[in-house]
Structure 1
């Protein structure tokens, strides 16, 4: 399948619709929460404590689910031993764990399977893809069959992008220049030997929500609560005790520091 400017624009438009959501989920997993952008007056305490339950939820779920390698089975009469051998060569359990974490963070994950010659031997390799730069186009039928899959990477140095587009027949690789030019890499492009599109899109649930997504407001509230507790304590420590109609000597001040009690004379008052 050919990669055109129109197709690139279509794919980027589809990805832009979810870009903010995916970025927010990843930020919360990494510990970059809303509390970090809170501002206060310069003379007020403004601690920004992050209690990152988002990461904890994903890591515990992924660890519990993939604590043991996934067991693959097939119906009687179907030999999957060659597939299992390929999985064992690449320690597929690491890929399963990474996919599990990505699904827990983003609500979905992508996997790409390709053929590679290693030391004269043909191997089938599976790799996880970045959900931010991967896309699968489905047709309009009730079966929602895959039309094509695509993933890309960006070169920060020269601003170019490499796009891989896969359909049932071909796997084509293109260099998209910063100026907008599209150059097909004829040497690396090849026929699709699988007979189907070797990209898999995993969903965490029907809504494509991450494990912690529904709990983000709760985590924000907890961050604010913990931060304000420290702020209040710090502001109390530096508070000034004002006495009206009373005087204190060094002995009285030591008593206040030690016992936290002050007995002012009748008619006097104190405030902080």
Structure 2
């Protein structure tokens, strides 16, 4: 009986918490059976669509393969909107705040978080991977579901049981990598019949350092539900181009006159038709053409394109109608669907970020300087990457004067990264003694003269 099974949302769960080598092999085997789906998602993103590999047409007929890469547009546009402006992470404690800023800079966290968001949109899931370098420093990188996975327990909470990061030699079938439980980290090499493990190392993180970030609970890619529509657009455009070539190669039909080889060559070279006959009306000269479905094809293409963006819930900013948004409110309405999608993804990413910062502050070299619970006081600010009307924001902020706390008032300004810090600095500035003005000085001198 198998100890690992796959749920509807493609999550691997284990009926046993006893992590053994046979359980690891079983998990790798089950994961390898899902790779074709992940590879298909990647192919769609990089432009290797089904239209490019369909069977060739017979008898030398026009056979164009036009591919419109909607998946790349959807993923890149959505990711840029979601996290094109880097996440701002702050702490109320100045020392921790300084550590976070330095750590994020050294690990290029802005770029890493962008890549994680993009990978999640391509595959429906992505991974943040914590590891120690040769100097025992904790680094963070990203991984795709083509090379990593997490197995959860089968309780109602589905807590991470262990993770595997590995690669497979396509020639020999051997795989090598690392699996991690809450207690230990083990490097291994082997195949489906067995593998050899190195000596276990102590896991310094107190958790599974391979953290899954999901696009949605169903773990579907950003373009999963529009794949068939994209295939239809590719087919329709390809057939439309085939029709153009067929028209250019149309046959000339001549009825009521007999032409010899020499006459045909002169007709082709001179492109002049001069037919003689007793009854000229009985001679028919015209091109053979098939019925023109251009209007139907154009209507279909427009409908398919509208459905792609509607169902993917990503705004098509190249649409002429999109430019008609003359105010911030109308622009927000046009972006509402993508905004709702981004807010759901933000919650998923924030959960993962809390988990990896929780593990970072558990590392002994860090807890010697900062509290192990410092991660609980971190603040995460996501800012959508859209054009901002600073004048409108300034008016709104001015109208909030005395209505809400200063930091909330400043938070409506997109140019302010850390509203609380700026509010504190403004408060300190207000508390400083004011220098006497020239008017005050003159008044005091006059009093002395009196």
Q: TM-score range by the shorter chain?
A: 0.7 to 0.9
2:197 is matched with which residue: 184, 193, 213? 184
Aligned equivalents of 2:192, 2:26: Cα separation in 1: 14
Structure 1 gap segments, 5+ residues each:
257-263
Aligned to 1:229: 240
Check whether the contact 2:62–2:242 (CA below 8 A) recurs between aligned residues. yes
Change beyond 3 A, Cα 1:224–1:141:
same
Aligned to 1:151: 165
1:128-156 superposed Cα distances (whole Å, 9 cap, x missing partner): 11212312111222222111111111235
Aligned equivalents of 1:241, 1:11: Cα separation in 2: 63
Change beyond 3 A, Cα 1:84–1:141:
farther
1:104 aligns with 2:121: yes
1:206 aligns with 2:223: no
Check whether the contact 1:112–1:199 (CA below 8 A) recurs between aligned residues. yes
Q: Which stretch shows the higher mean deviation, 245-254 or 87-96?
A: 245-254
Over the residues paired in the alignment, what is the CA RMSD in angstroms?
A: 2.8
Secondary structure (helix, strand or coil) at the match of 2:185 reads: strand
Check whether the contact 1:246–1:265 (CA below 8 A) recurs between aligned residues. no
1:163 aligns with 2:177: yes
1:30 aligns with 2:53: no
1:5 aligns with 2:19: no
- TM-score under structure 1 normalisation? 0.83
Instruction: After TM superposition, list the pairs within 5 Å mapping 1:47-196 onto structure 2.
Output: 47-73=64-90, 79=96, 81-118=98-135, 122-156=136-170, 159-176=173-190, 178=191, 180-186=193-199, 189-196=200-207
Higher percent of residues as strand: 1
Higher percent of residues as helix: 2
Query: Post-superposition shift, 1:70?
Result: 1.2
Query: Post-superposition shift, 1:20?
Result: 2.7
Query: Post-superposition shift, 1:123?
Result: 2.0
Aligned equivalents of 2:76, 2:232: Cα separation in 1: 21
1:67-97 superposed Cα distances (whole Å, 9 cap, x missing partner): 2221124578994643443222111111111
Secondary structure (helix, strand or coil) at the match of 2:117 reads: helix
1:197 is matched with which residue: 188, 203, 208? 208
Structure 2 gap segments, 5+ residues each:
1-17, 274-278, 289-450
- TM-score under structure 2 normalisation? 0.52
Check whether the contact 1:35–1:50 (CA below 8 A) recurs between aligned residues. yes
Aligned equivalents of 1:213, 1:265: Cα separation in 2: 62
Query: Post-superposition shift, 1:229?
Result: 1.5
Secondary structure (helix, strand or coil) at the match of 1:165 reads: strand
Greater RCO structure (CA 8 Å; 6+ sep): 1
Change beyond 3 A, Cα 1:179–1:168:
closer
Change beyond 3 A, Cα 1:138–1:81:
farther
Check whether the contact 2:130–2:209 (CA below 8 A) recurs between aligned residues. yes
Query: Post-superposition shift, 1:193?
Result: 0.6
Change beyond 3 A, Cα 1:114–1:84:
farther
Aligned equivalents of 2:223, 2:141: Cα separation in 1: 25
Secondary structure (helix, strand or coil) at the match of 2:85 reads: coil
Secondary structure (helix, strand or coil) at the match of 1:229 reads: helix
1:268 is matched with which residue: 272, 283, 286? 283
Check whether the contact 2:64–2:241 (CA below 8 A) recurs between aligned residues. yes
Secondary structure (helix, strand or coil) at the match of 2:88 reads: coil
Change beyond 3 A, Cα 1:210–1:226:
same
Larger Rg: 2
Q: Which stretch shows the higher mean deviation, 77-86 or 55-64?
A: 77-86
